[in-house]
Every structure is written in C-alpha cells, then in structure tokens.
A and B are shown apart, each in its own frame.
Chain A
Amino acid sequence: MNPRLAIWVVNGLLAGLAAVSLFPLLWMVSVSFMPAGAASTLPTPLLPATVTLANYRQLFGSIGMGRYLLNSLGIAAFATVISVSFNVMAGYAFAKLRFRGRDAIFKTLLGALVIPGQVAMLPLFLMLKPLGLINSYGGAIVPAMASVFGIFLVRQFARGIPDDLLEAARIDGASEWRIFITIIVPLLRPMLATLAIFSFLGSWNDFMWPLIVLTDDSLHTLPVALAGLSREHVQDSELMMAGSVVTVLPVLVLFLALQRQYMEGLMAGGVKG
C-alpha cells in the first residue's frame, strides 16, 4: 500500500475508534447541563441550548448524592490503604524471605485465582451477619483488604531487589522490620502507586458486593445509589447523566493523573485484578 494512503487509513480508523470511545462520556457531560426534558426532544441535541446546574443542585440537594460520594470515597480510601499495606508486606515476604511452606502457599494462592469471587459472596454474607458487619462500612471493606493479584504484582517487582543489599543491611545489624521500612518500601514506591490505583478503582467501581452488603440507603456507595436512582427516575435522563458524571469523573481524573503507573502495572501483571 502507498505509505501516504496507509497513514490516512491507520490514523483515520484510530480517530474513529477514539470518537466512539469518548463520545458517550462527552455526551454524558453535555446532557448533565441540560434542563429537565431537553434531551428527550427530536432531533436529540448534542449540546445544551441553555446551560443549567439544576441537575447537580437536585442531586446534591434533595437526593443527597454528597453522602454517597463520601461513602464511596471513604470505603475506597480505607480499602486501598489497608490492601496496599497487606499486599506489599506479603509480596515482599513471598519474594525475598524464606519461611516454611512459602512456595506451596504461593502456588495455592495462584490456583485460587480461578475461583470467581461470587462463589464466596453468599456464605460471606451469612458469616458477617452475626459479626454485625452487614449494613456497615466494615462489611464493604473486609473482602477487599488483600488480593492475590496485588501480592503477585509486588512479588514480581520485589524479586528484582538484589539480595546483597538485604545481606549488607543485615550485617550492619538492621532488624528485618527496619530493612522492610527503610529499604524495601522506598524501593517499591513506584509499585505502590500502581497498586493503590488498581485497588482504588476496583473498590470504587465494585457493584455486586456493596449492593448485597449495604442494605441501608444512607450507607450506599455511588454505583449502588445510581443503580437505584436509575430505576426510579427512568425518564429523567438529564438528572441521571449528572449522577453518572459524579460517579465516573473522580476515577477518570485519577486514571489520567496516574495513567503511566496504571498502564505499567497492567502490562507487568497482564492479569485481571
């Protein structure tokens, strides 16, 4: 093929795909600023004729979206801090420290990746009930406090740390805990950002478990609240688009800010979180 034509074809197709990928998101933002009912007219408008913040006012006013936003932020932040800490500790231990049963346990963990999480959901619900964790933030967080994928990712990365470095520190008399905090954690810092964004996105976007465990309306996360609202307000497309913006925008911004770390983690792991 003629190279100039090839450049046009390849970039034209890419531009088309990019337009399809981004259009629904841009349209969501546009409709969220339209007055009620404006999107349900023919021909369907692409841009608001008059810009209004009424949908956002209603969302954060009478609907109480602020509460759901805080719930989502709090649950995702807690789950992220705890799971990053636990996964880093375990990942380093599996990579660099010898302990009895290490390899057998690691193989079992990898094997467990084939079991879909939903298999554990019903019994977990029954187990958390007597503990008082149903209908509490704790219940939404506990299953996310550690992940095999996270441990695997840290282990891959930590294996690259030279043993000599650890030996030298041991000879200098540093305790194992001190080595972990002052040498390992700083070396793993790029990995920490990757882990944190995976964990935050996973927790923020999770739907089925919070839907099951958070029965009380005031505890709902954004996706659970939005799913409920969209069943009630089927006709209010402008309001629902504003709700979608509030739900999607934080993670989209986070992704754009940390996309290098995210992509690198994805390519290193090549596995779904």
Chain B
Amino acid sequence: MRRPGAIGWALAAPALVVIAVFFALPVIAGLALSLTDFDLYALADLSTLRFVGLANYGHLLRTPLFWQALGNTLYFVAVGVPVSIGLSLGAALLLNSRFARWQPFFRTALFAPVVTTVVAVAVIWRYLLHTRYGLINQALAAIGVDPVDWLGDPHWSMPAIILFAAWRNFGYNMIILLAALQAVPRELYESARVDGAGALRQFTDLTFPMLTPTLVMVGIMTISGYFQLFAEPYVMTQGGPLRSTVSVLYFMYEEGFRWWNLGNASAVAFLLFVVIFSVSWVLLRFDREPGSNA
C-alpha cells in the first residue's frame, strides 16, 4: 500500500512553495523592513542599513501628507463603498424582479465594466470628465448645470474618482447579491403578498434580513478593495489637484519607488493593513451581534 500522505503533500507542494516564498516570506520581511532605515544608500550598499525600531511609524504619524493620504482614502472608502454597494443592490433587485425582461442581456451589460482594465477605462473617463469637451459636463449643461472642473478642482476630484470606481465595480457585487436574492424562496414572497405586505414591507421585513450576511461579506471585500486605491488616481489625476487624490498606496508607491525610502514605505503598507484589518473586524463583530440585523 502506498502512503496517501506523500502524494497529498506532493500535489499541494508547488502551490504552497509559491505562496510561502513569494507571499508569506515577503510579508514577514516587510515587517522587518519597516523597522529599518532602508533607503537609496542601502540599496547600493547593505552595510549602511540600520535598525531604527518604530521610528518609521513615528515619523509617518508626524508626516502631514501621510495623514492627508489616509484622509483621502477614508473619504473614498466611506463614500465610495456605500455608493457602489447601493448601486449593486439596486441593480440586483431590478434584475431579480419578476417584471424584468431580457435578464441575461442586462446582466452581461451591467457586468461588462468589471472585466475591463482599470487603466484603460480610467483613460476613457478622463476624457468623459473633461471640463470643456467632456460629455458629462455637456449632459449636465443640458439640464442647466454649470460646467464642473471634475479633475482640476480639489473638491470635485475625489467625487469624480468615486463615480468612476462605482461605474466600474458595481457589477461584481451585483452578481453576488443576485445569487443571494435568487436563493430566497419565492413562496416566502407569495405568503408575504397574501398577508398584504407591499413592495417596501417585503424588502425591509424579508429581503433585507435574508441578505444581511451576504451584504456584510460583500461590504468587507469591497472596503478592503477600496482601501487599495491606486491605479485610478495614478492615471486620472496623478494624485492632484493639491494632492487631493493621493491615496495611501499612491503615497507608498511614491515613497518606495520614487524616493526609494523602502523602510518608510513598508511601514505605510503595514499601517494600511492594520486599518483594513480593524475595519473588517468591527464589521464582522457587528454581523455576529445577535439581533443587530433585525
């Protein structure tokens, strides 16, 4: 009899080695890196590397641009996630409605932006948002709204990026929420209707409670994804105007690969991880709280 244990290990090994070497090891090394003053000099000559303890973290907390990047990212998450998920939920409810026709076509059309390359569609949106020639401002002009300098005005740059992100991403959660909606037995709606519950009552008393676990999961995934904002400002605004769209990762990228302060940049990455982890943890607790989803 051959040992099944050996073959199990042999089959799992290639993937596990890849994950260990190219993910787990760098994560641990990153933690160590964040405690050093690794910079351009260390890149050339490792002997100049020094252990600095938590000095990078202390330095970051005293860097105004880091706080601004964190604030911008929180703005993007706090507004962008509800807008995106709201749109996803609305679209999923419409698709799941018994009045909906051509469901396969609509599903594909609404999902199409999700598979597109962020950089390429960000380029399109940069022109759609153009102050003078952009079609968005021309559509607004048709209803009497003055032109908005979307990507040039620090008050409008982040809303513009949120609009773009919601457009590109809402289809993803829409599909997951649609699957959850289709899992709700139709008979429950029948009996609710017999009991005289209107569309709104059906949603608040039946649909929403049934969807809560999926919404929490979708919320956590989306929040974690939105905290990793990078390509959108890189292409659309280059962090501007007045650094209003510098995200945490954009800051990390500049710190690490433009100024080669790799120790400092690693500390940024870990702080971002701590923020994402804490927010997810709070949301999970909220889900497990008995009665919180009533």
Contacts and interface: CB of A to CB of B under 8 A. Distances in A.
Interface of A: 1, 3, 6-7, 9-11, 13-15, 17-18, 20-22, 24-25, 27-28, 31, 39-44, 85-87, 89-90, 92-94, 97-100, 102, 105, 109, 112, 114-124, 126-127, 142-143, 145-146, 148, 151, 175-177, 180, 201, 204-205, 207-208, 212, 222-224, 226-227, 230-231, 237, 240-241, 243-244, 247-248, 251-252, 255-256, 259, 262-263, 266-267, 270-272
B11 interface: yes
A14 B246 CA distance: 34
Contact of B29 (A97, A123, A208): A123
A99 B2 CA distance: 13
B15 A176 contact: no
Task: Please give me the 10 A-B residue pairs with the lowest Cβ-Cβ distance, nearest first.
Answer: A99-B8, A97-B8, A90-B15, A120-B26, A146-B15, A123-B29, A244-B120, A176-B7, A18-B109, A146-B18
A11 B101 contact: yes
Contacts of B269: 116, 118-119, 121-122
A205 B30 contact: no
B293 interface: no
A150 to B, nearest CB: 8
Interface stretch (B55-63, B189-197, B222-230): B222-230
Contact of A112 (B24, B125, B228): B24
A21 B111 CA distance: 8
Given A97-B4, A231-B238, A14 B95 contact: yes
B15 A208 contact: no
Contacts of A126: 29, 33, 38, 262
> Which of the listed residues B134, B225, B266 has the most CB atoms from chain A within 10 Å of its own CB?
B266
Given A116-B276, A252-B116, A271-B221, A97 B95 contact: no
Given A6-B99, A92-B11, A94-B12, A115 B27 contact: yes
Contacts of B202: none
A226 B112 contact: no
B11 A90 contact: yes
Interface in B156-192: 167, 171-172, 175-176, 179
Given A25-B116, A119-B270, A244 B124 contact: yes
A176 B5 contact: no
Contacts of A25: 112-113, 116, 121, 124
Contact of B9 (A41, A92, A99, A117): A99
